[in-house]
A = this chain, B = another copy of it.
């Protein structure tokens, strides 16, 4: 993974929403400029209580995943891989004041947990996406790493998502804004997908492919599982659904990819992708 880390970038911040660099962060909220203080409630951070540029100014890679323990393990892994001098014990949960999410930083890599499902990751992303703006960093790449259910592929295969699709195999995310439904695109950055795929080629026994990821609103009825408290479909209906998903290009199922793609895309976090290691099906 080290090969996807670019050389240190000396781009200067030019205004509150635009940075001189290859990649821009566009926080699309006209109210933020007039706010005296911005409190990132669920991250236990704020513009008045924390020196965000000092804490996060050098961040280049943001990696998000569901489980807090796994994100800590990932941060420790990256720390070792990057050969950083800081003691491992100093990599502490930055969001320890809240138990909603956990955040660890090692060098230019920020690792954050997002819990399970679209509402949980979207709440975190609203606050996380404002961080590069407050911390004055640029050229940020965001990658979601998680487990998922694979469809028609060998267990252990890594799927790099090109497009996130909904339960109807459509590349869209329907966001309810007040009482309006707005449809957003869920396409992910092609260049980064290819770059990650090329990285995988250099690692022995690391089966990897690029495909669509289907994002559902629950783990049981939405993903065709037969062992939940409620199950109203037959085994045949389930298999028919999964076959149709495969035919539509779906290679795995998660519960966060559509909103992740939609929000990162809208905010100009161009270099992003979802990297998922299927476990079941």
Contact = CB atoms under 8 A, between A and B. Distances in A.
Interface of A: 27-32, 35, 38-39, 42, 66-69, 99-100, 115-120, 122-123, 125-127, 129-130, 167-169, 175-179, 182, 216-222, 224, 226-233, 235, 237-238, 241, 244, 255, 263, 266-267
Contact of A221 (B127, B175, B217): B175
B117 A119 contact: yes
Nearest to A184: B230
B266 A230 contact: yes
B178 A30 contact: no
Copies of this chain held together in the complex: 2
Given A116-B120, A178-B237, 17 more contacts: A28-B231, A39-B227, A117-B119, A117-B123, A118-B119, A119-B216, A119-B218, A122-B219, A126-B220, A130-B229, A175-B222, A176-B216, A176-B221, A176-B222, A177-B222, A178-B233, A229-B263
Contacts of A241: 178-179
Contacts of A179: 167-169, 241, 244
Contacts of A118: 117, 119, 217-218
B27 A229 contact: yes
A228 B126 contact: yes
Contacts of A39: 227
Nearest to A238: B178
A30 B169 CA distance: 28
